[in-house]
Amino acid sequence: MKAQSRSRAIVMLALLALATTGAMLHHDAPTFPHSKHAKLFPTCASCHSGVITGDAARVYPTQAVCASCHNGSVVKSVSWRVPTPPVTNLKFSHELHASASAEAGNPATCASCHGTGGDTTWMHVSRAEPARCLGCHLASGHLAAGNACATCHVPLTQARGLSDSVVAHFPKPPSHAAGDFISRHAPGNGADLASCATCHARESCARCHANAQQRPEIAQLASDARIARLVAGKPGVYPTPATHSRANWKLTHGTDARSSIGSCANCHTQKSCTTCHTGTLAASVIRGLPASGTGMATGVQLYTARGSAGGPSVESASPPQPPPAVPPPSPQDTADPHRVMVHEAGFLASHKHTAASGALNCQGCHETRECTSCHSGTAPARSYHPADFVSRHGTEAFRQNATCNSCHRTETFCRSCHQSSGMASSDKARGTAHASQPLWLLQHGQAARQGLTGCTTCHQQRDCLRCHSTVGQNVNPHGDGFNASTTSQRNKQVCFACHVTDPMKK
Amino acid sequence: MIHRMVMSVLAAIGIASGTAAQGVTISGSSSAQFVELRPLVLDSATVAATDSISPILRRAATGALTNCAATDAYCYFYRSMPRNGLVAMMQDLDVTAWGFGQGLSFHGQLRARTAAGSGRQLWPQADQSFDALSAYLQLERPGFDVRAGRQWVTSGLGVFNFDGGALDVRPFGWWDVNVYGGRSLVQGLDRPLGAAALSPVEDLPPPDNAYLVGAILQLRDLTAGSLRLQYQREIESNRSALYSERMAADATLLLGRATLAGEMTRDFATGAFNDLALSLGAMVVPQVHARIEARHYAPFFDLWTIWGAFAPVGYNEGTLATDWSSANEATLISLTGGWRQYDQTHTGFESLPLRSNGWRVGTLARQRLSSVFSLEGDYNVDLGFGASSTDGDLAIRWAPSSRGSLGIRGMAFQNLNEFTVGAGHVLGAGFEGSLLLRPDLRLAGDALVYRHVGDDAAQIADWNQRRLSLRLEWSLGAEPGLSRTLGRAGVP
């Protein structure tokens, strides 16, 4: 029984010790039993004179002051240590509060803030509660929009005792969760910036702002190693501004860029632009953006998707990132790419008019050589024609919709290939190119009028002159639409290709 | 060839560096392409070895249709020769150098090419081993630009290259006047437009070289629209005749969310309007864009040819195109359709009519399946005068990052040629991919195999083939203050 009782006592003692330790760790009240000393001290300043004078050494009494009574003979000895200042980013001046309240005609006493639960009994005191501060300072609540954080808080960089974890879990003001917060979060004045500095350091901004080094309000923020560790490797957050949803934004954003490139530089580096702007015409504007570099924000990352007949598209994406060690500061973080089609589907095939009318400033994004490298027509334009176009080009060629000859000269490209590959039957009286048309001779007139360009991809002029000339069969090829006068006025030589004498002198 | 190429590049770089140029940018594309083709060759069979199927046509024992003349003991037909393979190699260099003086820069676009293999003669302009597509000095000043050298003009009339000068003046913010002129060149080649370049393929080439002169007036207001007027003529170098005299007008009018566009090209020599088009495009509902166009087209021919005297007719065409994309643009569906009717030719026989109209429909769809996979397919039917076709393509692409992608492509198409060498369907499959090795270095390539099945009785064309291509694209240097990147032109 005794052994059992002893064991139970040991367990109880252990539990009591744990509970006491835990209570002490979480006990906010001063360990000094003020109420027991209520009859000894007539004023607070007896022990805390430094609070009034601002002398930090006299904010708390020393061990010697206690020992004047607690010397072991008058009263039992006690151990007393001056409390360690709390780790906090709060700032408070008793002196300023005392003088300010006095000037306001309502001098504050110590009990105004330190009276336990509003108890005004002498020396029934505890630590001041934040709610009492807010009662005077912030009628709208701790994190309400418009509050000046710096009224009560020191800048983060001065609160050096706070750990990474504490910083990461700073409470987030409700205003920061608004959908458009990032678009309008720039501090409007020094007071705003001071509020930002309560929780943020330069690295907070530099995580997203490619132009962090150029923005004075960011440069004013001090650097902080804790923030640097927390944002390391985290992608920037780049919400799409409302302007970017404007009709034709992709094609008209140059006006905005020219007028306010500094605004663009908040999110974009030169690389954002040069993804599309391979030409030099916009180079002077693009130079207003920061160049990409190590240790700086990437800016909005665009890359071109595969160019095809639908026209080039660009995609914006935040690079895939490992899960953050601390909760993300914003719900907008995403790795989903956002595709933006620069030109409508089929633009590559139909861009002639847009380019010819000047409706778009092609040179804004394209080098002249991009046109010529394709339109030169002797290089395989692999992004334009579908695969194996050599086998399937016949239909488009017969449609002769004028796009072939924008790149290919009929004689030097089409005919030379048709001749070398045996397709062209020039000079071969029994060519079988029209083999499936047994009465082709009777049909070829209509075919020639409707698709003469196609004919010329194989046939030379002399093939036709065998019949259609005065030295041949003298078959008149001129149709109703032929205006001999206007033609001969500009080039009479061409008449003599068929006519021995001047036909206009008949 | 290589010597000329190297010398040209060195000259360009030398000009840039030797004259204290601030910098040079050079972008290059080195490509090699393996192609297989089977040329046609004229063959014959004795009349006795053929069977009659019509008063004119006979069929050979191989099934090929033959032409036979009554007085001849032989019938003639075409057949495919053995497979010819060739490797076409091309090196493009684009050089820009600046800093010779305020606003002065040099631009050059050089191309060296060669082909090897049994079928090298099948490669277009295989004997043209070097092209200086452009090489000009440009002076840019506020309000005007001047260019001198080999250059191009792109316009509503087409794309023309010439050796000469151009002055571009911008007297007001939205006015632009461009006058240009010089010696005409064969399109895409660095040879003058004349007998030397064209006689290998034309018995009646232009008698003399030509000069190209023209002017373009452009009015452009971003909020209202744009208008561009162009006049251009090509003059025989002895000034005795014109090779062409044309004008173009292109206009765009912005009407809120709609765009009204018109274009016109006119050939003064024949009095014909080669292009007359009016189109209206609009975002009819969110995410749906539609465009409708009415167009008249008639072909244009240079005046040094007799073709214009044959009074070619044009056609009138109406087209409708619409595309829908999802809000996040992950899905795109595009539909197009058109109908065309040719003008009356006043020739031929009513009992032997040829088709005088045509229509086409097509659809294109893209779907981003995930952040790395995308699917793309299209299907087109084009039924018209001369030829008809049905084709479809399907590709799936894996792009794990912006650095590279790999795609698999399959296709099938059928050609129905009304009066040409053959008809058949082709099945093809292969893969294509690209990899950005560095921000300024990209490797791209594809490999495809085609299987041709002849549907026509003639069976004379064989398109069975394999193709392989590799391209290495790179760039050196960057504009002052700009980061160096590869241009988009090289995206596979």
B365 reaches A (C-beta below 8 A): no
- In this structure, what token pair is assigned to residue B29? 């594309």
Task: Please give the residue that has the higher pLDDT: either B454 or A153.
Answer: A153
Question: If contacts are CB pairs under 8 Å, which of residues 21-40 in chain A contact chain B?
Answer: none
Is the CB of residue A481 less than 8 Å away from at least one CB of chain B? yes
- The answer, for A177 touching chain B at a CB cutoff of 8 Å, is no
Which member of B124, B228, B413 has the closest CB to residue A416?
A: B124
**Start-end of H helices in B110-220:** 195-198
B329 and chain A in contact, CB less than 8 A: yes
A293 touches chain B (CB under 8 A): no
Interface membership of B70 toward A (CB under 8 Å): no
Is B286 an interface residue toward A (CB < 8 Å)?
no
Contact state of A430 with B358 under an 8 Å Cβ cutoff: no
pLDDT above 60 (res A315): no
- In terms of average pLDDT, the best of A265-279, A434-448, B6-20, B267-281 is B267-281
Question: Can you give the pLDDT at residue B489?
Answer: 33
Q: Which residue of A has its CA nearest to B79?
A: A422
Strand B225-236 vs strand A338-341: parallel, antiparallel, or unpaired? Answer: unpaired
Asked if B77 and A449 come within 8 Å (Cβ–Cβ), the reply is no
Which of B38, B420, B473, B491 would best serve as a mutation to test chain A binding (most A beta carbons within 10 A)? B420
What is the DSSP code (8-state) at residue A411? I
Query: Do A319 and B373 form a contact (C-beta atoms < 8 A)?
Result: no
Tokens of B209: 């070289």
A406 touches chain B (CB under 8 A): yes
Token representation of residue B484: 């160096």
pLDDT of res. A311? 45
Closest CB to A276 among B228, B308, B488: B488
Q: Is A382 part of the contact surface with chain B (CB cutoff 8 Å)?
A: yes
Q: Is B490 helix (H, G, I), strand (E, B) or coil?
A: helix
Instruction: Choose among A308, A395, A484: nearest Cβ to B415.
Output: A395
Amino acid of residue A234: K
A494 and B313 in contact by Cβ < 8 A?
no
Instruction: Measure A282 CA to nearest chain B CA, in Å.
Output: 11
* DSSP-derived secondary structure for B477-488: ---TTS-----G
The reported pLDDT for the residue numbered A341 is 67
For chain A, say whether B56 makes contact (Cβ under 8 Å): yes
Task: Please judge whether B154 and A340 are an interchain contact, meaning their C-beta atoms are less than 8 angstroms apart.
Answer: no
Q: Write down the pLDDT at residue A321.
A: 34
Residue of B436, B433, B467 lying closest to B449 (CA atoms): B467
* Contact status of A283 with chain B (Cβ, < 8 Å): yes
The pLDDT assigned to A346 comes to 74
A325 has pLDDT over 80: no
Question: Of A371, A442, A460, which has the smallest distance from its Cβ to B203's Cβ?
Answer: A460
Instruction: State the nearest Cα–Cα gap between A305 and chain B, in angstroms.
Output: 8
Determine the Cα angle at B409 with ends B407 and B410, to 5°.
Answer: 165
Residues of B in contact with A372 (CB under 8 A): 109, 133-134, 152, 159, 161
- Is residue A430's pLDDT more than 80? no
Provide, as residue numbers in chain B, all residues whose Cβ is less than 8 Å from the Cβ of A446: 345, 347-348, 353-354, 356
A-facing residues of B in 120-159 (CB < 8 A) are 121-122, 124-125, 128, 131, 133-134, 152, 154-156, 158-159
For B147, the enclosing helix (H) or strand (E) is strand B144-155
Residues of B in contact with A442 (CB under 8 A): 348-349, 352
Kindly state the average pLDDT of the residues A88-114.
Answer: 81
Alpha-carbon distance B374 to nearest alpha carbon in chain A (angstroms): 10
B184 contacts B163 by C-beta, under 8 angstroms: no
pLDDT at A24: 39
CA distances from A14 to A3, A17, B151, B210 (A): 17, 5, 94, 109
Taking one residue from A and the other from B, the number of pairs with CB-CB distance under 8 angstroms is 479
Nearest residue of A to residue B200, measured between CA atoms: A416
Residue B78: which of A433, A322, A351, A361 has the closest Cα? A433
In 3-state terms, what secondary structure has residue A322?
coil
- Note whether B402 contacts A303, CB cutoff 8 Å: yes
B348 reaches A (C-beta below 8 A) = yes
Q: What is the largest CA-CA distance in chain A?
A: 150
Angstrom distance (rounded) from CA B100 to CA A287: 20
Retrieve residue B488's tokens.
């988009």
Asked if B188 lies within 8 A of A413 by C-beta distance, the reply is: yes
Q: Which pLDDT belongs to residue A322? A: 34
Contact A399 B382 (CB under 8 A): yes
pLDDT tens digits, one per residue of A341-390 = 677 777 877 788 888 888 777 877 777 777 877 787 776 556 678 888 88
- What is the pTM (predicted TM-score) of this model? 0.74
Helix (H) or strand (E) holding B1: none
Residues of chain A contacting B371 with CB distance shorter than 8 Å: 317, 335-337
Helix (H, G, I), strand (E, B) or coil at A199: helix
Q: Which residues contact A2 (CB under 8 A, 6 or more apart)?
A: none
Q: Which residue has the tokens 């330790």?
A: A21
Q: Does the beta carbon of A214 lie under 8 angstroms from any beta carbon of chain B?
A: no
Distance from C-alpha of B239 to C-alpha of B241, rounded to nearest angstrom: 6
Side-chain-facing half-sphere of A39: CA atoms under 13 Å:
1
Higher pLDDT, A449 or A5: A449
Query: Which of A250, A261, A385, A395 to probe the B interface (max B CBs under 10 A)?
Result: A395
To the nearest whole Å, the CA of A117 is away from the closest chain B CA by: 57
Quickly count helices (H) and strands (E) in chain A: 23, 3
pLDDT per residue rounded down to tens, chain B (492 residues):
445 545 555 555 555 454 445 678 888 889 999 988 888 888 888 888 888 877 667 888 877 777 777 777 888 877 778 888 999 999 989 898 888 888 898 999 998 989 999 888 888 777 778 889 899 999 988 889 999 999 999 889 988 999 999 999 988 878 899 999 999 999 878 889 988 888 888 989 998 999 999 999 999 876 788 999 999 999 999 999 999 999 999 999 988 778 899 999 999 998 899 999 999 998 888 889 899 999 999 999 999 999 999 999 999 999 999 999 887 778 989 999 999 999 999 887 878 888 899 999 999 999 989 878 999 999 999 998 888 889 999 999 998 877 788 999 999 988 776 555 556 788 999 999 989 888 788 899 999 999 887 765 445 567 788 999 999 988 887 655 455 444 443 332
The residues with which B113 forms a beta bridge, in sequence order, are: B90
Q: Do B353 and A307 touch (CB under 8 A)?
A: no
Its ipTM equals 0.87
* Closest approach of A435 to chain B, Cα-based (Å): 7
